[in-house]
Amino acid sequence: MNPMLNIAIRAARKAGNVVAKGYERRDEIQTLSKGTNDFVTNIDKAAESAIIEVIKKSYPDHTIIAEESGALEGKESDIQWIIDPLDGTTNFVKGLPHFSISIAIRVKGRTEVGVVYDPIRNELFTAIRGEGAKLNEMRLRIENKRELQGCVLATGFPFKKTALMPLQFAMMNSLTSDVADFRRTGSAALDLCYTAAGRVDGYFEMGVKAWDIAAGDLIAREAGCLVSDFNGGHSYLTAGHLVAAAPRLVKEILNKIQPCLNGEFKG
Q: What is the pLDDT of residues 180-202, one digit of tens each?
A: 999 999 999 999 999 999 999 99
Q: What is the pLDDT of residues 206-216, one digit of tens each?
A: 999 999 999 99
Per-residue pLDDT, 3: 93
User: If you average pLDDT over residues 23-32, what whole number do you get?
Assistant: 86
- Residue numbers belonging to the annotated binding site for Mg(2+): 67, 84, 86-87, 212
Query: CB under 8 Å to 72, separation ≥6 — which residues?
Result: 52, 63, 64, 65, 66
Which candidate, 106, 98, 133, 110, places its Cα nearest to that of 222? Answer: 133
β partners of residue 39: 33
Mean pLDDT within 65-86: 91
Q: Where are the domains of the chain?
A: 3-140, 152-260
> Considering the chain, what is the average pLDDT of its residues?
94
DSSP reduced 3-state for 200: coil
Q: Enter the pTM of the model.
A: 0.95
CA 7 to chain centre: 19
Tell me the per-residue pLDDT of 44-68, one tens digit each, with 9 for 90 and over.
Answer: 999 999 999 999 999 999 999 998 8
Instruction: Evaluate whether the domain defined by 152-260 bears CATH number 3.20.20.70.
Output: no
Confidence band, pLDDT 50/70/90 cuts, at residue 235: very high
Tell me the DSSP string of the chain: --HHHHHHHHHHHHHHHHHHHHHH-GGG--EEEEETTEEEEHHHHHHHHHHHHHHHHH-TTEEEEETTTEEE--SEEEEEEEEEEEETHHHHHHT-S--EEEEEEEETTEEEEEEEEETTTTEEEEEETTTEEEETTEEE--------TT-EEEE---TTSGGGHHHHHHHHHHHTTT-SEEE--S-HHHHHHHHHTTSSSEEEEES--HHHHHHHHHHHHHTT-EEE-TTSSS-HHHH-EEEEESHHHHHHHHHHHGGG-TTTT--
- What is the band of 267 on the pLDDT scale with cuts at 50, 70, 90? very low
Annotated binding site, which residues? 67, 84, 86-87, 212
Domain covering 3-140, topology = Fructose-1,6-Bisphosphatase; Chain A, domain 1 (3.30.540)
pLDDT tens for 90-147 read 999 999 999 999 999 999 999 999 999 999 999 999 999 999 999 999 999 999 898 9
